[in-house]
Amino acid sequence: MGAAALFLPVAGLAINPLLLVGAGLVVGFLSGLLGVGGGFLLTPLLMMMGLSPAVAAASGTNALVGTAASGLLAHLRRNSVDFRLGLVLLAGGGLGGAAGTSWVRLLRQAGSLDAVIVGLYVLFLGALGLALFSEGLLARVKSSAEAGERTVTPHWVSRIPLRLSFPASGIVVSPLVPLLLGALVGLLAAFMGVGGGFFLVPSLTFLLGVPMRVVVGTSLFQVLFTALAVTVLQAALNGTVDVVVALGILAGSAGGAQLGAAAGRRLQGTELRIVFSLLLLALSFKMLNDLWALPASFLVPAGGGP
Amino acid sequence: MISPQAVAVGIAWSGGTLTVLGDAPPGCGLVVRVRGEEHREEWVSRVPKGPFWLPGERLVLEAAPSLWLVRSEAPLDELLLPEEAAAAALGEGGLLQALGPSGERLYLGQELLRRWRVSGRYVAEDAGILREGNRFRTTFHLPPQVSEGVLEVAVFACRDGRVFDVGRQSVAVRRVGLAALLTGAARRHAALYGTLAALGALALGTLVGLTFPGGRVR
């Protein structure tokens, strides 16, 4: 390993710290370029460095706290956060995160965590990649973002009872819908170490009709607090948070986000999303291949823990 | 004699060495073994189900050594009778027997050893012991993922297929400095550690957000 190694106390292995900073740089770049948290890339990158899936997901969530806090500040300055909607999403996120953290423990004991994490990744990255790649969705996102117009809430969503007004978003919908969306994001955070921005942004836009200018800020609000809660739960229940990993990633992501933001100002949004969707599809294909290809070993640690 | 007498695993640890040197009676063959502490470990096999590889049989090891390094001056079957090597748990067969899997499950144990060999946790070599007269010297490589605890270093003097003398000494492996602080906090004060990790990341992210107010916002 050489002199430049860094020992990760919870992961129990030594790696070159430049790899962590590099991963943070890549994730931060994408975050600055595309306005997403980047957690969906972080866990597989950490797993490729040799971290177990459980430690990679938990430590990635810890790093997401910093990334989301930085992004949320920018949105607070622009007054583009719907706190009421964010709190409902958060309540759901708390429920989903708590359930997910307990299930992670059970799956670790059953030895099937690897397969579950990889399976979820394939499912979500593939679906998102295809969705972003479709011209219709791209056109809707682009037109909504540029014109600052609100997408209409689908009729069937409007008919769900217990409707509540969310003035900052200009919508009147049942809080059960954002509660459910929040719970799904909490599950994603616990299982995959992702903040769920890539899932929440299209869901809030097309399912609830929240205007694009409010979506990302509100999504980051929910992601931040969900990641905070999941980090504490993962550390307390599973002992899988490696703070050295999180710090290394944050060191890189700070600079990466600035580079990404600078690059984003020179490129068109549509081009960026197509590149992004291809990246997601490639990653999804790689992980699907890992699931069905002959494994490097037919014996894995039960739980994939540290 | 063993050098170093204690292994310190700090935040910059990336593996190390352990040198064993001493005197050996003339006319004997030597086997040197470094064994880590034993602990319970569970593994799961992956079996093909449809197009995918999914979890299958479970392998529970009640006393899995965290490290198992063996050096001998000659192939073990030349130095020791098979039953003697098994009794001293020196050869691969002896280790497998100690681990547990046998019969139809032997392939799981063999795969386990293959994995341990790749990670540096299990090494068996019939070379690397230097002799000058009665003096001998050998150096083991300790892998980056060496566990905390005590390493038992044993030197077996063999003659006529039997072990006629054994010398043992212990070496402590301890995490030190920041690595020890973080490991201890993560294990003994898990909730506090998690809270501080989350708040630390929050503070860093806020600091970055305040330092670089510009950013792409959709």
Say yes or no for a CB contact (<8 Å) between B201 and A302.
no
Record: contact A74-B15, CB cut-off 8 A: no
C-alpha to C-alpha distance for A23 and A45, rounded to whole angstroms: 7
pLDDT digits (tens, 9 = 90+) for A115-135: 677 777 778 778 777 876 775
Question: What average pLDDT is seen over chain A?
Answer: 78
Structure tokens at B54: 């999914």
* Whether the predicted pLDDT of A232 surpasses 70: yes
**A106 interface with B at CB cutoff 8 Å:** no
User: For residue A226, what are the contacts with CB-CB under 8 A and spacing of at least 6?
Assistant: A90, A93, A94, A96, A97, A182, A185, A186, A189, A195, A196
**Is pLDDT at B86 greater than 60 in this prediction?**
yes
Query: CB of B97 within 8 A of CB of B82?
Result: no
**Predicted ipTM of the assembly:** 0.77
Q: How confident is the model at residue A270 (pLDDT cuts 50, 70, 90)?
A: low
What is the band of B185 on the pLDDT scale with cuts at 50, 70, 90?
very high
Q: Which helix (H) or strand (E) is A164 found in, with range? A: strand A164-166
Instruction: Say which amino acid occupies A143.
Output: S
Secondary structure class of B88 (helix, strand, coil): coil
A246 touching B (Cβ < 8 Å): yes
Is the separation of the CB atoms in B113 and A299 below 8 Å?
Answer: no
Q: What confidence category does residue B87 fall into, taking pLDDT thresholds of 50, 70 and 90?
A: confident
Q: What are phi and psi of B201, to 5 degrees?
A: -65, -40
Question: Residue B207 corresponds to which amino acid?
Answer: L
pLDDT tens per residue across span A34-56: 666 677 778 878 888 888 878 88
> How is residue A35 annotated by DSSP?
S
A-chain residue closest to B176, CA distance: A9
Do residues A209 and A151 lie in contact, with contact meaning Cβ atoms separated by under 8 Å?
Answer: yes
CB contacts, 8 Å: B182 with chain A:
9-10, 243-244
Higher pLDDT, B93 or A87: A87
Rounded alpha-carbon distances, angstroms, from residue A237 to A99, A149, B188: 12, 44, 12
Closest Cα in chain B, distance from residue A57 (Å): 14
Q: Which positions 117-156 of A are in contact with B (Cβ < 8 Å)?
A: 145
Q: Which residues pair with B138 in a beta bridge?
A: B20
A positions 252-281 inside 8 Å of B (CB): 254, 257-258, 260-261, 264-265
Of B41, B200, B215, the CB nearest to A32: B215
Contact B58 A111 (CB under 8 A): yes
Confidence of residue A244 (pLDDT cuts 50, 70, 90): very high
- Do the Cβ atoms of B191 and A264 come within 8 Å? no
Stretch B176-197: mean pLDDT: 93
Quote the pLDDT of residue B216: 46
The model's pLDDT over B118-139, given as tens digits with 9 standing for 90+, comes to 888 888 888 778 888 888 899 9
Q: Which of A170-179, A180-189, A284-293 has the highest mean pLDDT?
A: A170-179
